[in-house]
Structure 1
Amino acid sequence: MSGKILVINCGSSSIKFGLYGSIDHTLTVIKTGEIVAIGAIPRLQVFDANGVSIIDKRLINGSNHAQAMSALLDWGLSVGTHTQTARDIVAIGHRVVHGGGLYDAPVRITEQVLEHLDTLDALAPLHESHNVAAIRILAELMPNVPQVACFDTSFHSTLPKVARQFALPQPLYEQGVKRYGFHGLSYEYMAECLPNLIGKDAASANVIVAHLGNGASMCAMQGGRSVATTMGFTALDGLPMATRCGDLDPGVILYLLEVLHMSNEDITELLYKQSGLLGLSGISGDMQTLLESDAEQAREAIDFYVYRINRELGALTAILGGLDALVFTAGIGEHCAAIRSRVCKLAGWAGIRVDAYHNERHSLCISAGDSPVTVWAIPTKEEWMIARHTQRLLS
């Protein structure tokens, strides 16, 4: 496919984007960026292929996503009018968090697809509606450019039924109440790049990837395929996150409803936006802020975070029947040496040993030479995966 591919990851108050082109059949990044604080005082930041800032400006018009997207096309891509932009961009790929039970691979977007995605909003209330809104906005701004949805749930379509089920009546499973898993684009990228980084044999063996960012989950892979993951029916499950609760006794929800008389809206707000590291510490959902704090609550929040990672690591290792490689990725996983060190120290039971020098310098391989389990810190490239899926599907 000749021409450029635009990748969009739309959130509630931000739009992340990337522009990709093909050189000698190799997909390469041209520029990346984001618009933040949509609805307040929007700011556009654009970086070249080497990560050097080329645009950093406040936007006069950006009070909503439609205006922000228009500014992205005019300023962020630096190609002038929408018409000129449409000629230069041949396809648009979107990150869509939830594909439900229907989509186990990227799909070209039609009105029928959009109607189905509208029904999944309750399964990913922080993400799905904004993902779909971006698609509709660009369909108006660039009506002749094909768009592709790439789902965070698709990579986990290989989960066996025993890993998908909840202990609920079977008719509910058939109606779609099951474990879907998320962060699939990140895990898929790891499955793609691991053979080149750690050797084909290791990448096809027992690997656990820890995607630790504002959202957090872990995935057990055999032969590059997902066999177990910590997130479930929604993106609330599993590890504690910046503001999301993670694993929770469902009886707590009943208690909040029946005894504390909280509304559905209040519970949603609590579980998605007031819990996790923020709720535990009462200070912040940002890991770096907590690490720099002297408050006991900050320490306790970090202790709980590391404890839960270690607990899930043990469960996933048991499912795999052993562990050959542990990979850290996403914001905390890639950049926070202190958390990697603490997780690996607790995981000494698995034979994991970290080289402190390489860990502090954020090397790709951070395990000690005599560690039977190799440990890695690898930047994820979800946008690149979306661009490649879009290129392949439309070619």
Structure 2
Amino acid sequence: MIDTLLVLNTGSSSLKFQIFEDRTLNVLMSGKVTGIGDTPRLRAKLPDGRGTQTSLPANTNHNSALSAVMDLIAGYDHAWRTAAIVHRVVHGGEAFIEPVIVTPDVMRSLEALIPLAPLHQPHNLAGITASARLASGAPDIACFDTAFHAGHDKLISSFALPREIRDKGIRRYGFHGLSYDWISQVLAKDHPDLHAGRVVVGHLGNGASLCALRNGISVDTTMSMTALDGIPMGTRSGSIDPGAVLYMLHDLDLGVETVQDILYERSGLKGLSGMSNDVEALLRSDDPQAAFALEYFALKTAQHAAMMAVSMGGIDAFVFTGGIGEHAAAVREAIIGRLAFLGAFKTLVIPTNEERLMATQAQKLLCRAA
């Protein structure tokens, strides 16, 4: 019998999983569901090394994607005993700044944060609830995307709002922290000179943000109270004049749910192009609106990268990660080209591995709890 850690990583349009041997953290099985909400497909690397892929029904949502993953795992789980199920939870608020074992009280606190991350938090918590199907006796461990940014100075984390409003938890939290933590650790190992310097990291995917790393520590990031702020994303607007939101609500009389749907599901690259949030499809298209969407994305990303450089007092390197950052060379070049005025700095592409980082965090937590 092999003790394992099952890591679940739910994104806005994807669900990734990896099964690690508990002691060595060797990967026993891995896979992901991509294209949720569009053309969902389950791909996996099986324990015997073979690959498999399956098309899922067009109406597949995060819950049914999780069911498909768990069914796949159950079919190949012959000698595994799950020591813990590790979950990426996007929003930890002010209370959760390190991984925790999920208890009913913790779960209630995380449910209270759903309004701050409506696109992710419900799916994250649904994974915790559903995990009992696979290993009812194993503890659930939550690892938080906001935790890496918990040490931000108040100059960075505050909004220019009245104190009585700020005291209610309305502040900048930041996200993609698991990815940025991984990149920081890779830099420390492979590029210690850059780790000790000033690095802008771009986690660019369907969800996208930038982080300013100084000495490997997050000092600023583009997302704030929710995962809606900052640079434009696949379907999310990024930064927008709050007055425009008020105008949609009061003058256009669109209603809160409609405006939320516009900002989270119908904006970004999809809204600008009028066709897709898939960067590969936009790069292939000869539609002028596709080119406009990509140019807009590059411009806004470069502008926000310059903001990150201000927070650090300069820039020594730009690291790209995430689906777009790792695979869309044309987009990378368009962003870097707009930053030439900052002078010479290094450019790197480093694949992120949030799942291994989560497994490492869970392993340390279980050792402390033993």
- Normalized against structure 1, the TM-score is what? 0.86
Distance between the aligned counterparts of 2:62 and 2:148, measured in 1? Answer: 29
Partner-residue secondary structure (3-state), 2:160: coil
Q: Which residue of structure 2 lines up, in the alignment, with residue 280 of structure 1?
A: 272
AA paired with 2:328? C
Structure 2: which 5+ residue stretches go unaligned?
Answer: none
Match of 2:167 in 1: 174
- Matched residue type, 1:266: T
Structure-2 separation of matches of 1:240 and 1:160: 25
Match of 2:26 in 1: 28
Alpha-carbon deviation of 1:46? 1.2
More moved, 131-140 vs 258-267:
131-140
Match of 2:291 in 1: 299
Distance in 1 between the 2:312 and 2:53 partners?
46
Deviation at 1:66, TM superposition (A): 6.3
Q: 1:65 to 1:330 in 2, by over 3 A?
A: closer
Is 1:385 paired with 2:357? Answer: yes
* 2:209 and 2:223 in contact (8 A); partners too: yes
Aligned to 2:52: 55
Residue in 1 that maps onto 2:19? 19
Kept in 2: contact 1:244–1:271 (CA 8 A): yes
Q: CA deviation at 1:173?
A: 1.6
Conserved 8 A contact 1:105-1:151: yes
| Residues in 1 aligned to 2:186 and 2:11: alpha-carbon distance in whole angstroms | 27
Q: Using a 3 Å threshold, how does the CA distance of structure 1 residues 72 and 297 change in structure 2: closer, same or farther?
A: closer
Task: Say whether the 8 Å CA contact 2:46–2:52 is kept in structure 1.
Answer: no
Q: CA deviation at 1:303?
A: 1.3
Where do 5+ consecutive residues of structure 1 fail to align? 353-372
- Distance in 2, Cα, partners of 1:187 & 1:298: 29
| In the alignment, structure 1 residue 237 sits paired with structure 2 residue 229 | yes
In structure 1, what is the equivalent of residue 185 of structure 2? 192
CA-atom RMSD in angstroms: 2.5
Amino acid at match of 2:43: Q
Call closer, same or farther: CA 1:69–1:213 in 2, change over 3 Å. closer
* Alpha-carbon distance in structure 1 between the residues aligned to 2:98 and 2:324: 28
Q: Quote the Cα distance in structure 2 between the aligned partners of 1:70 and 1:253.
A: 36
Confirm whether residue 8 of structure 1 aligns to residue 18 of structure 2. no
For the 8 Å contact 1:324–1:374, the answer to whether it is kept is yes
> CA separation of 1:322/1:15 partners in 2, compared to 1, >3 Å: closer, same or farther?
closer
Equivalent residues in 2 for 1:105-120 (5 A)? 105-120=98-113
Partner Cα separation in structure 2 for residue 138 and residue 93 of structure 1: 10
Q: Structure 2 vs 1, CA of residues 278 and 39 (structure 1 numbering), >3 Å: closer, same or farther?
A: closer
Partner of 1:308: 300
Q: How far, CA to CA, are the matches of 1:328 and 1:73 in structure 2?
A: 31
Of 299, 308, 315 in structure 2, the residue corresponding to residue 323 of structure 1 is: 315
Which residue of the partner structure matches residue 76 of structure 1? 73
What is the identity, as a one-letter code, of the residue corresponding to 2:190?
A: L
Give the Cα separation in 1 of the matches to 2:134 and 2:342.
53
| Cα offsets for 1:69-89 (capped at 9, x unmatched) | 455344335445xxx67x521
SS in 1 for 2:339: helix
Change (3 A) 1:223 1:125: same
Q: Deviations over 1:148-172 (max 9, x none)?
A: 0001100000111110000001122
The offset of 1:298, in angstroms, is 1.3
CA contact (8 A) 1:44 1:76 kept: no
Task: Report what 1:359 is aligned to.
Answer: none
Residue 103 of structure 2 aligns with an amino acid whose one-letter code is T
Moved more, 32-41 or 309-318: 32-41
Structure-1 separation of matches of 2:36 and 2:340:
44
Shift of 1:13: 6.9
Identity of aligned residues (%): 42
Q: Cα distance 1:92–1:164, how it changes in 2: closer, same or farther (>3 A)?
A: same
By how many angstroms is 1:318 displaced?
A: 1.3
User: 1:239 touches 1:305 (CA, 8 Å); kept in 2?
Assistant: yes
Q: Secondary structure at the match of 1:178?
A: coil
How far has the Cα of 1:54 moved from its partner? 2.6
- 1:368 paired residue number: none
1:326–1:48 Cα change, 3 Å: farther
Q: How far did residue 319 of structure 1 move?
A: 1.4
Determine which of 125, 137, 146 is the counterpart of 1:132: 125
1:332 and 1:228 mapped to 2: Cα distance?
Answer: 21
Q: What is the alpha-carbon distance in structure 1 between the residues aligned to residue 47 and residue 148 of structure 2?
A: 27
- Which of 43, 46, 50 aligns to 1:45? It is 43
